[in-house]
């Protein structure tokens, strides 16, 4: 039997007139998450990500590009001249990126919420990231606050040294469940970013690292954002690709994946929108409201259907 009352209620929640209510709910969730982040940070002795620290991450590079590395195999098509260009901007590598020899300015990590024990794979990746950053003049690790049941038990073994090279942050998901509702909710959040009123310790999210890193870049003031290896299709992870194996070695035991993992963020079992749908709307809204450009670097990506493609090697 169809629940018409529930369907009507959900429809009304997603209409534009309800946007202020959804925005207030988002802010309330963000404030609660902000306190949770602070509590974790106090115990661990590491700083909370803030608007000022995000601005420092941007620094003099705000008029250049911000590069976000996903874990898709299309990154194995990048050339050395491409990486030289990337070094002229600011870059962040997400999740298993420490397996790649290119050292970005930032590494972004998150925790599995399905385990209460420290994740040995994540410990390995963080250690590689720390080692990589020791050879760099600047750099930082970004940790998403772990949720229950993982909590502090998962985080304590990863608290990096020195403390100043890491930041803890949280996330707050949107409440809209329709494209129309998402558009109006993004307009409000991006308007706040334009006014400089978001703290930065809690990033808007749809359950994907790339979404949070885009919002971090926008808060920092970047207006050109390039997605690399954000394939969202059946391509293997970059360290499973034969090109990577031939050049850099085999890390498949240290970071094992199953073939279907690469499209998990396209599933709506734990999020209202597939990542590709959310990104398409975010790119459109960010262009209209902030004058920001969000592009994908490879035509191999599923995002090439909805985002502009900026192939490397061309001006």
Domain boundaries of the chain, sorted by first residue: 13-305
Q: Do residues 162 and 123 lie in contact, with contact meaning Cβ atoms separated by under 8 Å?
A: no
State the distance between the two ends of the chain, measured CA to CA, in whole angstroms: 57
Output the pLDDT for position 114.
59
Distance of CA 85 to the CA centre of its chain: 21
Closest to 262 (Cα-Cα) out of 300, 294, 219:
300
Q: Do residues 128 and 16 lie in contact, with contact meaning Cβ atoms separated by under 8 Å?
A: no
302 vs 93, 206, 257, 273, 309, CA distance in Å? 19, 17, 20, 15, 11
Output the pLDDT for position 10.
58
Predicted structure pTM score: 0.90
pLDDT of the chain, 315 residues: tens digit per residue: 444 344 545 555 677 678 888 999 999 999 999 999 998 888 888 899 988 888 776 666 667 899 999 999 999 999 999 999 999 999 999 999 999 999 999 999 987 665 566 678 888 999 899 888 887 667 889 999 887 666 777 776 666 554 558 899 999 999 888 889 999 999 999 999 999 888 889 999 998 999 999 999 999 989 999 999 999 988 899 999 999 999 999 999 988 887 655 455 666 666 778 899 999 999 999 999 999 999 999 998 999 999 999 887 444
Output the pLDDT for position 6.
44
The tokens describing 176, both together, are 């809209």
Q: What are phi and psi of 178, to 5 degrees?
A: -125, 155
What is the spatial distance between Cα 114 and Cα 32, in angstroms, rounded to a whole number?
Answer: 22
Output the pLDDT for position 313.
45
Residues in the chain: 315
Residue with tokens 């009352």: 5
What is the spatial distance between Cα 280 and Cα 301, in angstroms, rounded to a whole number?
Answer: 13
Cβ burial of 164 (10 Å; 0-12, 13-18, 19+) is: exposed
Output the pLDDT for position 1.
40
Annotate 35-56 with b (16+ C-beta within 10 A) or e (fewer).
eebeebbeebebbbbeeebbee
Q: Which residues contact 242 (CB under 8 A, 6 or more apart)?
A: none
Q: Collapsing DSSP states into helix, strand and coil, what is residue 159?
A: coil
Output the pLDDT for position 314.
41
107 vs 52, 142, 211, 256, CA distance in Å? 18, 6, 15, 19
């Amino acid at each position: 039997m169809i629940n018409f009352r529930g369907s009507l209620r959900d429809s009304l929640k997603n209409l534009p007139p309800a946007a202020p209510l959804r925005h207030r709910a988002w802010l309330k969730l963000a404030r609660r998450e902000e306190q949770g982040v602070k509590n974790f940070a106090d115990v661990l002795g590491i700083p909370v990500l803030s608007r000022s620290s995000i601005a420092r991450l941007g620094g003099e590079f705000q008029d250049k590009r911000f590069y976000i590395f996903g874990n898709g195999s299309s990154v194995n098509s990048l050339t050395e001249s491409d990486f030289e260009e990337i070094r002229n901007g600011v870059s962040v590598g997400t999740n298993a990126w420490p397996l790649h020899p290119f050292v970005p300015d930032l590494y972004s990590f998150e925790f599995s919420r399905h385990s209460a024990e420290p994740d040995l794979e994540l410990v390995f990746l963080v250690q590689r990231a720390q080692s990589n950053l020791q050879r760099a003049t600047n750099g930082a690790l970004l940790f998403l606050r772990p949720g229950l049941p993982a909590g502090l038990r998962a985080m304590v073994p990863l608290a990096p040294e020195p403390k100043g090279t890491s930041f803890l942050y949280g996330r707050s998901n949107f409440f809209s469940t329709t494209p129309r509702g998402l558009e109006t909710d993004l307009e409000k959040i991006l308007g706040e970013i334009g006014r400089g009123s978001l703290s930065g310790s809690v990033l808007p999210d749809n359950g994907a690292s790339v979404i949070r890193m885009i919002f971090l870049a926008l808060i920092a003031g970047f207006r050109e954002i390039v997605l690399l290896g954000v394939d969202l299709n059946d391509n293997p992870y970059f360290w499973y690709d034969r090109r990577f194996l031939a050049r850099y070695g085999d890390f498949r035991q240290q970071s094992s994946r199953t073939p279907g993992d690469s499209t998990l963020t396209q599933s709506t079992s734990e999020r209202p929108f597939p990542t590709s749908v959310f990104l398409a709307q975010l790119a459109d809204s960010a262009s209209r409201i902030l004058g920001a450009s969000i592009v994908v670097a490879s035509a191999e990506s599923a995002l090439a259907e909805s985002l502009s493609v900026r192939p490397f090697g061309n001006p």
